[in-house]
Chain A
Amino acid sequence: MKTLRFVLCFSALSAFSSCTHVKPWERGHLADYLMIPGRDPLTDSISEHVWFTREAFAGGRGVGGGGCGCN
């Protein structure tokens, strides 16, 4: 019962504190050039190769743009 109470209280407190909403006017850092995952084709190619050889990963990187959420 004590463990359950602790877990539930922790979950309740987390609901108050863990998430925040970034306002549209606060997205300057998210929109920064460095936040674009595909800004360097050579790095992308190398990363794809490493992921493919290690994890049989391929594709799935089709989302473009930064994180500003503009329009």
Chain B
Amino acid sequence: MNRRYFIQRTAALCSAAFAATSTSLLAAGWKEGAHLPDLGSFGLEGTLPKLAGKVVYLDFWASWCAPCKASFPVINRWHQELASRGFVVLGVNVDDDAAAMQTFLKKNTVQFPVVRDAAHKLVAAADVSTMPSSFMIDRQGVIRHAHSGFHAKDEAKLLAQINALLG
């Protein structure tokens, strides 16, 4: 084996390693148009609300995430105003420490159902790119909109999307 061949082969190996790492970055998460998987199979802590036939706003959040905290007053308002039209909010907490979530819930008003994804199975399946991340699911269980982060200026757009799904 000559030297040039060895260097070429090693360079190819390094490239393959880099490609494998890059591919993991592009791992497929939940896409718009896909069906929401059965949430009961992810070992979530807490009681799941009835989602069948409802428009669902599924929100991944954590106690250490400031934008998550900022989004809760808005989500609370949607939950209160739109529940009668078949709208359900489901908060999925991803804290490592259950006590951190409980402390947060005591200090902050959260009126919608919250479950905890202690094993991070659900959030890993969704493969969200930031915290918070949310998904809007229509009455047929199809993911219609995916959102990363939360900004107050997006409230009107999000509400319009919810209203369109509610019909």
**Is B a genuine binding partner of A?**
yes
A residues whose Cβ falls under 8 Å from a Cβ of B: 1, 4-5, 8-9, 11-12, 15-16, 19, 21, 23-28, 31-32, 68-71
Nearest A residue to B17, CB-CB: A15
Which residues does chain A contribute within 8 Å of B13, judged by CB atoms?
Answer: 12
Would A15 and B14 count as touching, CB distance under 8 A? yes
Contacts A1-B3, A71-B150: A32 and B131 contacting too (C-beta < 8 A)? no
B163 within 8 A of A: no
Would B149 and A71 count as touching, CB distance under 8 A? yes
Would A69 and B130 count as touching, CB distance under 8 A? yes
Which residues does chain B contribute within 8 Å of A16, judged by CB atoms?
Answer: 17, 20
Shortest 8 CB-CB contacts between residues of A and residues of B: A15-B17, A31-B64, A25-B94, A8-B10, A71-B149, A25-B123, A12-B13, A28-B64
- Chain B nearest CB, measured from A41 CB (Å): 20
CA distance A1 to B7 in the complex (A): 11
Would A12 and B10 count as touching, CB distance under 8 A? yes
The contact of B131 among A12, A19, A21, A70, by CB within 8 Å, is: A70
Which residues does chain A contribute within 8 Å of B20, judged by CB atoms?
Answer: 16
CA distance A28 to B101 in the complex (A): 12
- Chain B nearest CB, measured from A46 CB (Å): 28
- Interface size class of chain B, counting residues whose CB lies under 8 Å from the partner chain: 35 or more
CA distance A36 to B156 in the complex (A): 33
CA distance A26 to B94 in the complex (A): 8
B21 within 8 A of A: yes
CA distance A12 to B63 in the complex (A): 39
Nearest A residue to B20, CB-CB: A16
CA distance A1 to B120 in the complex (A): 47
Supply 29 A–B pairs (Cβ within 8 Å), ascending by A. A1-B3, A4-B3, A8-B7, A9-B10, A11-B14, A12-B13, A15-B14, A15-B21, A21-B21, A24-B128, A24-B130, A25-B120, A25-B123, A25-B124, A25-B131, A27-B64, A27-B131, A28-B64, A28-B96, A28-B100, A32-B64, A68-B131, A69-B130, A70-B65, A70-B132, A70-B149, A71-B67, A71-B150, A71-B151
The contact of B130 among A12, A19, A31, A70, by CB within 8 Å, is: A70
